[in-house]
């Protein structure tokens, strides 16, 4: 009889200990500082492997169960890098994953930058090799490959602030910028360009010229009006911002007296 009681006490004690371990798991801090990368399309299994590799959990099975069934993180996983401080608990890990609180890496392309300036800026941040980047965006079939008019991507790399991951390369950056251009240059803008007798390539190049002519937002409508009036009259633009070879080819400047570069004069 006593033996049975002892066995029962031991079983109850073990069950109590296991229950405590399970219930306290979400609040149990573990490990030092660590960073994991969640790949696009990754599931809980790969995330738990990354957590274990980074020393952020000593109980992969419990972490898998907790993230998968208790917190239901799987369907809400966002790709990117996640950084965790020392002693992070499983609950804190789950909350960060659920909220998508990733390391934010960004670069900003200012308005008015041409492809060479963009390449130089990206290279200074260690994101691209300037020569290789220019070779891709100024290739004569680059625009066609991206589903755009013209030849090169000069003028199609939209100025904006972009987020990227540590393994983002030249092709991904070019794709990001071109997609952003397409999003902003919508059918309405295409119609407005056609209404004044210009195609997409001409509008993009003219916009680049205006941005190069002045860095002040309030002056751009005036410069735009001057340029449009000169184009209507068949006059040279008389602008001194240097056009890249890509823009020259896009616009056919060498064959068009209206669009050629000429010595600067006072706007009329």
In the chain, the number of structural domains is 3
Indicate whether 142 pLDDT > 90: yes
Tokens of 199: 């195609």
Cα dihedral value 83, 85, 90, 93, nearest 10: -30
The domain containing residue 202 runs over which residues? 187-255
pLDDT in tens, 159-212: 899 988 877 889 999 999 999 988 887 777 666 666 666 666 666 666 666 566
219: pLDDT confidence band, cut at 50, 70 and 90? Answer: low
Sort 96 into a burial class: Cβ within 10 Å, 0-12 / 13-18 / 19+.
middle
Give tens-digit pLDDT for 221-254: 655 555 556 555 555 555 554 443 333 333 343 3
pTM of the model: 0.60
Closest CA to 180 of 202, 203, 159: 159
Long-range Cβ pairs for the range 210-215 (8 Å, 24+): 211/111, 211/112, 212/112, 212/114, 212/239, 212/241, 213/239, 213/241, 215/112
CA 164 – CA 160 distance, rounded (Å)? 13
Indicate if 171 and 208 belong to the same structural domain: no
Q: Which of 103, 126, 153 delimits the end of a domain?
A: 103
Lowest mean pLDDT among 27-31, 55-59, 64-68, 135-139: 27-31
Q: Note whether 123 and 173 are same-domain residues.
A: yes
Instruction: Indicate if 35 and 82 belong to the same structural domain.
Output: yes
Q: What backbone torsions phi and psi does residue 229 show, to the nearest 5 degrees?
A: -65, -40
CATH number at residue 82: 3.30.1490.480
- Please indicate, yes or no, whether residues 65 and 128 belong to a single structural domain of this protein: no
Domain boundary (48, 79, 103) is at 103
User: For the segment 7-48, what is each residue's pLDDT rounded down to a tens digit?
Assistant: 666 665 555 544 545 545 677 888 889 999 998 889 999 999
Neighbour-count burial for 64-90, b at 16+ CB within 10 Å, e otherwise: bbbbbeebebeeebeebebebeeebbb
């Amino acid at each position: 009889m006593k033996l049975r009681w002892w066995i029962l006490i031991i079983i109850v004690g073990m069950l109590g200990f296991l229950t405590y371990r399970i219930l306290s798991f979400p609040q149990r801090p573990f490990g030092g500082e660590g960073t994991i990368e969640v790949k696009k399309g990754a599931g809980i299994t790969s995330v738990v492997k990354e957590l274990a590799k980074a020393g952020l959990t000593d109980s992969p099975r419990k972490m898998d169960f907790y993230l998968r069934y208790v917190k239901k993180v799987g369907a809400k996983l966002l790709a990117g890098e996640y950084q965790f401080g020392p002693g992070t608990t499983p609950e804190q890990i789950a909350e960060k994953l659920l909220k998508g609180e990733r390391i934010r890496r960004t670069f900003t392309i200012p308005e008015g930058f041409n492809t060479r300036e963009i390449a130089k800026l990206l290279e200074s941040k260690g994101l691209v090799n300037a020569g290789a980047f220019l070779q891709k965006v100024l290739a004569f079939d680059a625009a066609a490959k991206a589903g755009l008019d013209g030849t090169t991507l000069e003028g199609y790399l939209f100025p904006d602030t972009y987020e990227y991951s540590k393994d983002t390369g030249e092709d991904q950056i070019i794709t990001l910028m071109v997609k952003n251009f397409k999003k902003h240059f919508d059918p309405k803008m295409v119609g407005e360009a056609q209404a004044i007798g210009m195609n997409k390539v001409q509008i993009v190049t003219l916009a680049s010229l205006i941005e190069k002519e002045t860095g002040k937002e309030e002056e751009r409508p005036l410069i735009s009006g001057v340029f449009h009036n000169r184009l209507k009259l068949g006059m040279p633009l008389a602008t001194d911002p240097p056009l890249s070879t890509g823009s020259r080819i896009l616009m056919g400047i060498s064959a068009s007296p209206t669009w050629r570069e000429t010595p600067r004069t006072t706007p009329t």
